[in-house]
Amino acid sequence: MVPDTTSAAYSSSQSVPQHVAVIMDGNGRWAVREKVSRGQGHKKGSEAVRQAIEGAVEAGVSYLTLYAFSSENWNRPQEEVSDLMGLLRFYLSREIKRLHKEGIKLKVIGHRERLAEDIQKMVAQAEALTADNSRLTLVIALSYGAREEITEAAKHIAAKVQSGDVALEDISEDLVSSSLQTKGIPDPDLIIRTSGEQRLSNFLLWQAAYAEFLFLDVLWPDFTKEIFHEAVQNYLTRERRYGARP
């Protein structure tokens, strides 16, 4: 059970990020370092997910988005993809009841129709089970690509214009945002990427417009809730101006 220590590490005057997104990178390199299989690296990485969730709950974060599997990851060797899908099945079957008991809501974004039918069913059941929870919304980006998401949103809006439901002059940033898969979810305040890489890798491109970024040298399987708290403390030292002059 995650302890109920919401915002305990922060003063009442500090505004913790409402939404933290994480690009979980480094499972493969961790496996090489530890001289184990990539599958074992991914399994160890799944354990770090629990650390991130606990850190988010303790910090008082409302939304935690984890980049679990990109649309480009389908191009990886079939054995690795199979290992990842097997791990996803294990997580959905073993962890969802625990998340529900802890008051955590699960939402999956991405093209789930590319997933095996049994996984699609498990995702739908998990979302339905946890739909009324409010302690933390855990968003899993699965078979997700931001360019694809934006393209689909553009097609959706174009169809509405063509049908006469939306006038050309009524197209706005709000309309685009509400046409994305993250509709109803606030844009991320902080995006963390592990493993030392410094790029977005097709993740939340529209939503990241004014996010703060933190690139960590730690490999994802080594991620802990203490590192999550350190990331939040780093965020709290920054001044967010949204383009305004200091």
Mapping DSSP onto H, E and C, the string for 19-43 reads: EEEEECCCHHHHHHHHCCCHHHHHH
For residues 125-145, average pLDDT:
97
Residue 150: burial class (beta carbons within 10 Å; 0-12, 13-18, 19+): middle
Instruction: Look at residue 45 in the predicted model and tell me its pLDDT.
Output: 87
The set of catalytic residues is 25, 73
25 marked as binding residue: yes
Query: Is 40 within 8 Å of 80 (Cβ atoms)?
Result: no
Residue 5 has pLDDT above 60, yes or no: no
pLDDT interval class at 241 (50, 70, 90):
confident
201 marked as binding residue: yes
Euclidean distance between CA atoms 222 and 122, whole angstroms: 28
Query: Is 17 within 8 Å of 10 (Cβ atoms)?
Result: no
Instruction: Look at residue 7 in the predicted model and tell me its pLDDT.
Output: 47
pLDDT interval class at 80 (50, 70, 90):
confident
Longest dimension (CA), the chain: 59
Instruction: Look at residue 100 in the predicted model and tell me its pLDDT.
Output: 97
29 marked as binding residue: yes
Query: Is 39 within 8 Å of 83 (Cβ atoms)?
Result: yes
Task: List, as one string, the DSSP characters of 58-102.
Answer: HHT-SEEEEEEEEGGGGGS-HHHHHHHHHHHHHHHHHTHHHHHHT
147 marked as binding residue: no
Which of 8, 3, 21, 70 is CA-nearest to residue 211? 21
Alpha-carbon distances, residue 132 vs 20, 51, 72 (angstroms): 21, 23, 32
Q: How much is the pTM?
A: 0.92
26 marked as binding residue: yes
Instruction: Look at residue 9 in the predicted model and tell me its pLDDT.
Output: 56
Residue 10 has pLDDT above 80, yes or no: no
Q: What is the mean pLDDT of the chain?
A: 92
Tokens of 55: 């850190």
CATH number of 19-145+188-236: 3.40.1180.10
pLDDT tens for 18-52 read 999 999 999 989 999 999 998 898 889 889 999 99
Lowest mean pLDDT among 68-82, 154-168, 178-192: 68-82
Which of 1, 80, 91 is CA-nearest to residue 47? 91
Instruction: Look at residue 199 in the predicted model and tell me its pLDDT.
Output: 96
71 marked as binding residue: yes
What lies within 8 Å, CB to CB, of 170 at 6+ separation is: none
Residue 141 has pLDDT above 90, yes or no: yes
Q: Give the residues across from 75 on adjacent strands.
A: none
pLDDT interval class at 6 (50, 70, 90):
very low
Instruction: Look at residue 93 in the predicted model and tell me its pLDDT.
Output: 86
For residues 188-194, average pLDDT:
98
Which of 98, 87, 89 is CA-nearest to residue 54? 98
Q: What percent of the chain has pLDDT over 70?
A: 93
In the chain, where the domains are located: 19-145+188-236
Q: Give the residues across from 46 on adjacent strands.
A: none
- Count of C-beta atoms within a 10 Å radius of residue 229: 18
Query: Is 235 within 8 Å of 227 (Cβ atoms)?
Result: no
Instruction: Look at residue 245 in the predicted model and tell me its pLDDT.
Output: 60
Residues in the chain: 246
More confident residue, 182 or 77: 182
Query: What is the DSSP-derived secondary structure letter of residue 111?
Result: -
